[in-house]
Chain A
């Protein structure tokens, strides 16, 4: 399994160093950002880190504002965000979670606690990715499904059908193209009486009238 990439965003270099060391021990790939704008720049790229550990108060954009912006991105695999916050700030924690953070950890971060919460995040992110893959496969399958639907213009006489490109197509061709159906041609009893039998009788009569051909002598 490839290593998950985690963004560490904190304007305090000491905190960045400690969090990065914890993440590396947990075998995560680490990307660093030293302020809110830099963090946002990383998170809005087409292939952002799966998770982020973010300080609450940063110059530029703060943690909650970044969370709010993340929620506006149209993606089926949003970055899992853990906010770093001071111990005595429960109101801030509520604000953070309401702004869209997935979890929080109080500072200074403890190795076992941070890694445990990142494990939870890994489960969520893995599940999201699996779901997104499945949806994509289903959408592809759906676009390949052949269907007969709608109002079809059909010729009253020969039963040709006019398709989406305005071509008149034989009804067998149209139905074959739009379903899994194939045709084997034969006659219904009525048409046999009406068309086929007279033709066969006429052919037989023609053959009877013609003299037998002798092959020419060499």
Chain B
């Protein structure tokens, strides 16, 4: 059995932020993530094609933060490696890491869609 893409404890913490009469925080956060993450992944590949290490770093750093906020641990860790590689100027490591990030994002997205559908 594969580990869930999202950390249940993190999602529970987000659930604790709910307030009566306010929109559901988990739904809001996951929806924002789904709409934002694809462009970060695209930005990584775009910057890579231009060999623009700082832009790779910026996009990876942002996606890392977003993934951390929703408990997508594997995606977070992959982005951290991308961040470190780009910071060190090691662009050769980027394509493989970017593929890994996309695969992990696919798992994350599936799980998010299941959560949003169930609510």
Chain A residues close to B by CB (< 8 Å): 10-15, 17-18, 21-22, 24-25, 55, 57, 59, 86, 107-108, 110-111
Alpha-carbon distance between A13 and B28 when the two chains are bound, in angstroms: 11
Residue among A12, A14, A24, A110 having the largest count of chain B Cβ atoms under 10 Å: A14
Stretch at the interface among B12-20, B45-53, B93-101: B12-20
Flag if B29 contacts A17 (CB, 8 Å): yes
Count, chain B residues at interface, CB 8 A: 22
Flag if A108 contacts B36 (CB, 8 Å): no
- Contact partner of A14 among B13, B36, B58, B61, CB < 8 A? B36
Tell me whether A111 and B32 are in contact in the complex, defined as CB-CB below 8 angstroms, given that A14-B70, A57-B58 are known contacts. Answer: no
Q: What chain B residues lie within 8 Å of A18 (beta carbons)?
A: 14, 17, 25, 29, 69
- Contact partner of B13 among A55, A107, A110, CB < 8 A? A110
Flag if B32 contacts A13 (CB, 8 Å): yes
- Contact partner of A108 among B10, B17, B25, B58, CB < 8 A? B10
Q: What chain A residues lie within 8 Å of B65 (beta carbons)?
A: 10, 12, 14-15, 55, 86, 107-108
Alpha-carbon distance between A86 and B32 when the two chains are bound, in angstroms: 21
Q: What chain B residues lie within 8 Å of A22 (beta carbons)?
A: 17
Across chains A and B, the number of contacting residue pairs, with CB separation under 8 Å, is 59
Tell me whether A57 and B32 are in contact in the complex, defined as CB-CB below 8 angstroms, given that A15-B66, A18-B14 are known contacts. Answer: no
Alpha-carbon distance between A79 and B28 when the two chains are bound, in angstroms: 29
Chain B residues close to A by CB (< 8 Å): 10, 13-14, 16-17, 19, 22, 25, 28-29, 32-33, 36, 58, 61-62, 64-66, 68-70
Alpha-carbon distance between A18 and B16 when the two chains are bound, in angstroms: 11
Alpha-carbon distance between A86 and B22 when the two chains are bound, in angstroms: 29
Flag if A17 contacts B22 (CB, 8 Å): no
Flag if B33 contacts A14 (CB, 8 Å): yes
Alpha-carbon distance between A15 and B61 when the two chains are bound, in angstroms: 12
Tell me whether A24 and B66 are in contact in the complex, defined as CB-CB below 8 angstroms, given that A14-B32, A18-B29 are known contacts. Answer: no
Alpha-carbon distance between A52 and B65 when the two chains are bound, in angstroms: 18
Alpha-carbon distance between A14 and B71 when the two chains are bound, in angstroms: 12
